[in-house]
Amino acid sequence: AQTVTQSQPEMSVQEAETVTLSCTYDTSESDYYLFWYKQPPSRQMILVIRQEAYKQQNATENRFSVNFQKAAKSFSLKISDSQLGDAAMYFCAYRSFDTGANSKLTFGKGITLSVRP
């Protein structure tokens, strides 16, 4: 079974600064997908960024980028130019490559990010 570990329960960043959220995972599979989801307080969970394990290039979405280290099974999220609206709980998640109709996400415990004005 796959596991996802987010070891830091909380982090804080100054507005306009850069912060990196850590995530490690364990799997015996060679192909899979990784995601970062954001859940603001009392608001909807949305996908921030995703990475296909077979792609060597790190995914980037505007101010969000990942550092994907497949051999180390590490998938960290970097948020540049942090904004107040980035304050949320962030979940790292794993999905097997070939699950078809039974697609399941394995979530980490999450990390609460606060942004200081």
Partner 1 sequence: DTEVTQTPKHLVMGMTNKKSLKCEQHMGHRAMYWYKQKAKKPPELMFVYSYEKLSINESVPSRFSPECPNSSLLNLHLHALQPEDSALYLCASSQIGTSELYEQYFGPGTRLTVT
Is 12 a residue that touches partner 1 (CB under 8 A)? no
- The label of the residue with tokens 């998640």 reads 93
Does residue 52 interact with partner 1 by CB under 8 A?
yes
Cα 34 to Cα 55, 81, 92, distances in angstroms: 11, 23, 7
Site string for partner 1, 87-106 (x = CB under 8 A): --x-x-----xxxxxxxxx-
- CB count within 10 Å of CB 107 equals 13
Looking at the DSSP bridge assignments, the partners of residue 6 are none
Instruction: Specify the residue, 68 or 108, whose C-beta has the smaller distance to partner 1.
Output: 108
Q: Give the closest residue to 9 by CA, choosing from 91, 109, 111, 115.
A: 111
Instruction: Report the nearest approach of partner 1 to the CB of residue 35 (Å).
Output: 7
Question: Cβ closer to partner 1: 84 or 105?
Answer: 105
Residue in 54, 30, 39, 29 with CA at minimum distance from that of residue 107: 39
Position 64 contacts partner 1 (CB under 8 A):
no
Establish if 68 lies at the interface with partner 1 (CB under 8 A): no
Q: Please work out the total of residues on this chain that contact partner 1, with binding judged by CB under 8 A.
A: 26
Q: Is 46 in the site for partner 1 (CB under 8 A)?
A: yes
Distances (CA, A) of 86 to 17, 79, 102: 12, 9, 31
Nearer to partner 1, 75 or 91 (CB): 91
